């Protein structure tokens, strides 16, 4: 009974945060009359954390689901969510060309508890949840964070701070040989000498490295004060 009561308390707490941000902040500030449309956009973004999205794709998906919306409205609502610090937008960075790309971003949540409040266990992707956690920790450590693009590939995170760059791939496990090859491949294509990390939940021996790419247990990395 104590556990059940605690779950009720947590849900009530999250409901208070969600309602406060959604109704008292975003709806009032943007003068939104169609709250259900805003919630559909929130549900879609929450359900697609870590996926490459575009404003046009979001608009088309919601429209095809029976609720017509244009890209301009989606952009306005997304900006409201970002201004309220409910979500973070992560832009792409072309590693080879050293260029910031202005389309097809990823979104991560400021509080994963809100995702479970809104969606429950629907579509839980452990890999993207783990990415979200790593992203939040990187910005907490003072990095500017981007999604890295390379020819025929992607780096989960390019972290920049004071002229230094670090590259991160995130995966729940790479115990399977093919999974390990897939996760290492994008990092191996980067030719500069900045640090490269593979973060997983696997229990590792000290100093695990793959030709200079350091594999770290993500829980130990999270508990470290900064770089390992």
Task: Choose the weakest-confidence range: 3-7, 116-120, 209-213.
Answer: 3-7
Structure letter (DSSP) for residue 199? E
For the stretch 37-74, pLDDT in tens is: 999 999 999 999 999 999 999 999 999 998 899 999 99
Whole-structure pTM value: 0.91
Q: Which residues contact 59 (CB under 8 A, 6 or more apart)?
A: 69, 70, 71, 73, 74
pLDDT at 227 over 60: no
DSSP character for 24?
I
Q: Report the C-alpha gap between 64 and 125 in whole angstroms.
A: 24
């Amino acid at each position: 009974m104590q556990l059940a009561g605690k779950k009720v308390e947590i849900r009530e707490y999250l409901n208070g945060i969600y309602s406060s941000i959604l109704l008292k902040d975003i709806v009032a500030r943007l003068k939104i009359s169609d709250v259900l449309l805003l919630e559909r956009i929130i549900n879609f973004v929450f359900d697609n954390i870590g996926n490459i999205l575009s404003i046009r794709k979001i608009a088309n998906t919601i429209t095809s689901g029976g609720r017509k919306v244009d890209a301009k409205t989606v952009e306005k609502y997304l900006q409201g969510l970002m201004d309220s610090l409910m979500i973070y937008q992560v832009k792409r960075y072309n590693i080879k060309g050293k260029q910031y790309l202005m389309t097809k971003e990823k979104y991560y949540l400021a509080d994963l508890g809100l995702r479970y409040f809104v969606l429950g266990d629907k579509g839980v992707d452990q890999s993207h949840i783990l990415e979200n956690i790593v992203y939040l920790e990187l910005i907490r450590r003072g990095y500017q964070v981007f999604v890295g693009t390379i020819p025929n590939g992607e780096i989960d995170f390019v972290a920049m701070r004071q002229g230094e760059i670090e590259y991160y791939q995130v995966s729940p496990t790479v115990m399977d040989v093919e999974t390990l090859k897939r996760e290492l491949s994008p990092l191996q294509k980067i030719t500069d000498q900045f640090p490269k990390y593979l973060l997983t939940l696997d229990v590792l021996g000290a100093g695990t490295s793959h030709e200079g790419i350091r594999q770290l247990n993500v829980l130990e990395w999270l508990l470290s004060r900064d770089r390992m």
